[in-house]
Amino acid sequence: MSVQVSQLANGLIVVSHTMPEVETVSLGVWIGAGSRSEAKHEHGVAHFLEHMAFKGTERRSAYDIAEEIEAVGGDLNASTGVDSTAYYARVMRKDLPLALDILSDIILSPRFDPVELAREQEVVFQEIAACLDSPEDIVFDLVQEAAFPDQSLGRPILGTVASVKGFKPNHLGAYLSAHYHAPNMVLAAAGAVEHEALVAEAERRFAALDISPTMPPTTAVYSGGFRRMDKSFEQTHIVLTFEAPPYRHADYFTAQMLAGVLGGGMSSRLFQEVRERRGLCYSVYAFSSGLIDSGMFTVHAASGPERAHELFAVIRDELVRAAEHGFRPEEISRVKAQLKMGLLAGLESSSARAEQLARQILIHGRVFTTQELIEKVERIEAADIQALVERLLVSPVSLATVGPIRHVARFDAVTEKFTIPSTKAA
């Protein structure tokens, strides 16, 4: 595998994977800071900074940024997560220098023009409004708040209308100065890329990055709790979460296996029992997400308000059954095949591969070979997954619902079978 890694004098890691069969290159800069790195008064600033980076630099207007990348057929985008922020592009091989010039420009020299800032605040207000119209977005924000109360991890990435309305150029500049440092960043590229040329361009474009280390975010404290919103929707959405192993934990891949067995496809236990046998919902799924110091194992489903209590009871029963009786060999084999398929499919997408490389370096400090990852999956046994379910069920649960519940007493009776802390919030 043609993966190469270099480190610039200022600490920036440059990683690339040459894919001879493609003619385009996906590249981007990943910063090891997202919404969890915000102070309380900065709620939403990481996401707003990502927006404002495209609204003009010292050398380019917002239109210039868009026009230059699209003039060569490329595209440019960005995303903000809990623990990272990314700015990325995809271009033809000959246009890699242009893409790097634009990426470095928007990261190193954003202008934060007050007129553009006010206009973009209105855009983000609409983005927040769109989320408040989506019960699925609301319920995930609520369960995050229940799991990590009074912490940046428990607050929505977008911020609130009130917090975003208060942002001035100095707030964006302060966050950028505190977290956009070379040792906390990775430049990753995959596709039609030559590593030596990439490093040479990176040395030219990113030499001005701050070389000092950044302060790590406050340690996550998972608590668990219950949040409910009775806003009227056609369905009632339910999210059930337990604290999951963090990225570097030995059981991280075990949690991925458990998510696959319970809710990773049409043959998963929850899909078969909840949808196929009982017709309680259209969609039900499970996943496990990680952080450096914590994680969340999550089950999501939605049903009509009159059957929400039954839906939740069936999900609970399936978890208990897994803890008591374990898993069949064919289930384990199926999920291992799904995970390996996902790993191998990621190698065929230059954009997915660039992100994978960047995140591995940010989290682990190195790139894993595909064989290493496959071996991690293959080593997991049914007993490991069953033991993880047992630990989840005796840990604090986080539960969120959005939408009306017709039989509240029945629903609450089911929730009491879990260990839910006494502090409950509406």
Pick the closest to residue 120 from 45, 58, 65 (CA basis): 45
Residue type, 50: E
Show the 3-state SS of 23-70.
CEEEEEEEECCCHHHCCHHHCCHHHHHHHHCCCEECCCEHHHHHHHHH
**Going by C-beta distance under 8 Å and a sequence separation of 6 or more, which residues neighbour residue 323?**
386, 389, 390, 393
Q: How far is CA 225 from CA 152, 157, 287, 292, in A?
A: 16, 20, 19, 22
| Residue 102 phi, psi (nearest 5) | -70, -45
Task: Give the other-Cβ count within 10 Å of 360's Cβ.
Answer: 18
Which residues are registered as beta bridge partners of 238? 301, 401
Length of the chain (residues): 426
Pick the closest to residue 215 from 265, 255, 180 (CA basis): 180
Q: How far apart are CA 49 and CA 371, in angstroms?
A: 38
Measure the CA angle with vertex 122, ends 151 and 176; round to 5°: 50
Q: Which two tokens stand for residue 258?
A: 């458990």
Burial class for 63, CB neighbours closer than 10 Å (0-12, 13-18, 19+): exposed
Q: How far apart are CA 372 and CA 6, in angstroms?
A: 21
Is-catalytic flag, 50?
yes
**Going by C-beta distance under 8 Å and a sequence separation of 6 or more, which residues neighbour residue 113?**
55, 56
Q: How far is CA 270 from the centre of its chain?
A: 23
Catalytic residue among 50, 68, 116, 243: 50
142: left (phi over 0), alpha (psi -120 to 50) or beta: alpha
Give the max Cα distance, the chain: 65
Q: Which residues of 364-397 are buried (b: 16+ CB within 10 A; e: fewer)?
A: eeebbeeeebbebbeebeeebbbebbeebbebbb
Beta strand spans in 322-396 (E): none
Residues with a catalytic annotation lie at: 50
